[in-house]
Each structure stands twice: as structure tokens, then as C-alpha cells.
Amino acid sequence: MLDETMTYSCALFESPDEPLEQAQLRKLRLICDRLELGPDDHVLEIGCGWGSFALVAARDYGARVTGLTISREQAALARGRGAAAGLEDLVEIREQDYRLVEGQFTKIVSIEMLEAIGDDQWETYFRTIDRLLAPGGRALVQTILIPDARFARYRSTPDWIERYVFPGCLIPSLAALGPALATTRLGLYGVDEIGLHYAETLRRWRQRFLGALPQVRALGYDERFERTWDFYLAACEAGFRTRWLRDAQLVLERSS
């Protein structure tokens, strides 16, 4: 379903016919640029997935990257990709809970991981970023968002995706994150909305998924899974296209 970068988050398209891989690389480089990343930086990535950001940050910007995941399979593949690219000296992938990390980092990035932890962990999440970010450091959190006016109703009634695709998740609204941020030394200095790009990203994923159904079946997935995933991708595309869902990059800085 994913492109060659193995990036499972919103891409950023320059044109409607741009290849998905290029749009994902544009998004990753934009994040590096917003972090003002360079060779003197040590970046912590909370939720590194299969390593796409770490590869770009190390290869194209010369930064040292520590990536975190709680998935053994993701960690193994991300390490292998780093080794294949000759970046072992710059990229470290840890199979570790972000709450257990020690030390300080000049930059922190977290791309669409916040939605998965539930609202009871939001304060812990931002306090951990605050604790690990060096004074004057910068963080970028990319997250799916619910429009503020709809959040109370959404929060009170688990939707289809919460029940059948991502149990335990809760998409925040921007305003709902305010109280958690207020317990830290982090200031919010930039909010960039990219949600409409997610509609096209999801359209591409669904197209690729439906085109690969023989491979899906070969992996042992049944017709019910195919219908579930088809509906999930189509429903999310519609949500972003109608702005029922948002996606934003939040730039945070820690005071000294």
C-alpha cells in the first residue's frame, strides 16, 4: 500500500500527478527545514515507523538521529535500511517506550504518533518532550486533528475507526491539546495545516491496496479484512477532503 519510502503519514503534493514517493520526501524535508536541522543536531524521533524520516535527516542534513518504536518488525527493518544506506554512525533505532528515554536532544520530531496514545497520555507526552528537549530546542509534532467544534461529541462516542481499526486511539483537537501544553515550558510557535494533502495520500494508498489484492490474500487476509481496509481508506479520504478531519504540523520551542 505504501510507497518506496515506507512512510505511513500524510504526504505533501506539489502537483496532482506527482509520484507518492516524491510527495512523501517533500514532507520529510519540509519537517527537517522547519526544525532547521543540521550536522550539529541530535534528533529524537518519537514513533519512527520504518525509518523514512531518520534516513532523510541523516543522509540529506547530516543530523544524528535516535528513532523510537515499540514494534520489533519496524525496528529491524529501519535498522536494515540505515545499514544499507551506510548511515549506521548517524542513525540509531531503539525498540523503546518514549517515556523511558533519558538524556537531551537539540531537536525532537513525532509524525502522527500522538493520535495513538489516548487523551490520558497527552500531558505525559508533552512533558516528556519538554524534559528531553535541550533549552532553546525545537520540536515538530505532526498530528491528525478533529475540528475544535466537533471534538466534544467525537470524544464522547467511539467511532467506527476507534472500534475496528485503531482501538484505544483518540484524535485530538488543537484546543484540547492546550491544557497539556500549558503544563510544560513548550511554546507553540507554528501551526501549518496540510489536511487536504491527506485526501490525495489516502486515495493513492487505497488505489495501491486494491491493485495488490492478490498479494493481500497471499498473506492470509480474508474478504472481511479487504472490505474493512477499503472502507477505512475511503472514509478517511472523504473526511480530509470535506475537512471533517485535519492534519497539522505543530512547531514547538522550549524556553531556557
**What are the residue numbers of the active site?**
236
Q: What is the 3-state secondary structure (H, E, C) of the chain?
A: CCCCCCCCCCCCCCCCCCCHHHHHHHHHHHHHHHCCCCCCCEEEEECCCCCHHHHHHHHHHCCEEEEEECCHHHHHHHHHHHHHCCCCCCEEEEECCHHHCCCCEEEEEEECCHHHCCHHHHHHHHHHHHHHEEEEEEEEEEEEECCHHHHHHHHHCCCHHHHHCCCCCCCCCHHHHHHHHCCCCEEEEEEEECHHHHHHHHHHHHHHHHHCHHHHHHCCCCHHHHHHHHHHHHHHHHHHHCCCCEEEEEEEEECC
